[in-house]
Structure 1
């Protein structure tokens, strides 16, 4: 084991349970006063280059439907996806692997959704917005290096936010033309989030991309951001598209 042979290989060669090997290894480290550090490819803690495209998208997913658990022996990032949108589930998992490939990733089916989980405590390094309480009840501000990534990959950030807390729908209205009532349909994007800060990050990015938007209140709550202008919807269709 001191030669660096993995526990799994040692267990197979000696016919001993892997858990026993792991315990022996832990006791050996304690006896020699060695401090064990879990291997990581965290781009913040190592010199590994950050995949900006994947990170910008994953940042949008995290701010929308993401959650980090950071406790003793319980550390992971979870992204919650609609179970029917298999493309979204695959995209979330792929983004996690591209940002950090070392941690194990699992899918857990819950009522109506799939929880995509990546197990490592280093997700708090790449998402310093993590903290106690719900995101809309605390301040959400991007670090300068995060804002630089969003500025370099803005469409990926918008796509992540839409894929988490947004949707593309078809609205319709009726008008009387030459005495005849006609139905008109038009596509529209919605983004809904209770956090003023997260909505501001979304609308600020749309402004820089030249996408026109309006704030829509429902029951007095201004939680909805709408994109309905034809040219802006066309831009969103080109770079974002509906969830699937």
Structure 2
């Protein structure tokens, strides 16, 4: 029998209350209609693993993760290159795609998942050109409520109050996670005519590129919070949002707290 987390149960009841059919809710959330019918009569008690307090979001008075700094970093990685998928027996997998070129980033991702869910296993799955850092837990939908059907840029992405409180306290790990997933630090160059001679000048800058306007807004809000100046970079396509940090003082600040991938 599948064991569903409290977030899925409450979501199912909310959709039914909005007038959705049980069949439609069953297909959208991947839960059985029999479970939905039983929840309409009474919300089933949480499984014993939750009662032991292994998920702070499933408690009668939900709290924040015990490793908020690691959580902020992990949230940035997830919004950029992550996905949550439902597995058998009500379990979920969180997968973060990390390029082979950045072994330090892969290690940091593993550490973040272990810090947020120390009770669960984490592994590295080698794929062509990247490593899928994967962790399993029935509680990923509780901890990452941005999870949903379809691609992230095709649905609304907002933070819940408890998440925003973490991002307000730890904006830099969140920024670093977004840069490590969908951003980069590069060195641009240009030439200028000085005293009749053409000289080459190099200058570093940061870019963040994502198709989701909501995720891009979360990134720029975090930059505003720490005093980093940014601009909209040149859009390669209409669907892609490109954020640029090029001012010398802002780049220096990013170098202190983020730095290049490694």
> Which TM-score tier does this pair reach, normalised by the shorter chain?
0.7 to 0.9
Deviations 1:51-90 (A, max 9, x none): 1100000000000001000243352101110112110000
User: TM-score, normalised on structure 2?
Assistant: 0.76
Q: Given the alignment of the two structures, is residue 81 of structure 1 paired with residue 105 of structure 2, yes or no?
A: no
Does 2:78 match 1:62? Answer: yes
Q: Could you say which residue in structure 2 is the equivalent of 1:181?
A: 198
State the alpha-carbon separation in 2 of the partners of residues 36 and 146 from structure 1: 24
User: Which runs of 5 or more residues in structure 1 are unaligned?
Assistant: 1-34
Q: Distance in 2 between matches of 1:48 and 1:139?
A: 22
- Are 2:65 and 2:71, in contact at CA under 8 Å, matched by a contact in 1? no
Other-structure match for 1:44: 57
Secondary structure of residue in 2 paired with 1:182: strand
Match of 1:229 in 2: 247
Quote the residue 2:15 is aligned against: none
Cα distance in 2 for partners of 1:181, 1:131 equals 54
Q: Mark the runs of 5 or more structure 2 residues left unpaired by the alignment.
A: 1-45
Q: Post-superposition shift, 1:188? A: 0.6
Greater Rg by CA: 1
Q: 1:126 aligns with which of 132, 143, 156?
A: 143
Is 109-118 or 217-226 further displaced after alignment?
Answer: 217-226
| 1:17-166 matched pairs, under 5 angstroms | 37-38=48-49, 41-46=54-59, 50-73=66-89, 75-166=92-183
Counterpart CA distance in 2 for 1:184 and 1:176 is 11
Are 1:197 and 2:210 matched, yes or no? no
Q: CA RMSD in A?
A: 1.7
Q: Count the aligned residue pairs.
A: 210
* Alpha-carbon spacing, 1:203–1:102, altered in 2? closer, same or farther (3 Å): same
Aligned CA distance change for structure 1 residues 124 and 210 (closer, same or farther; 3 Å): same
Q: CA shift at 1:49, angstroms? A: 5.1
Aligned to 2:236: 218
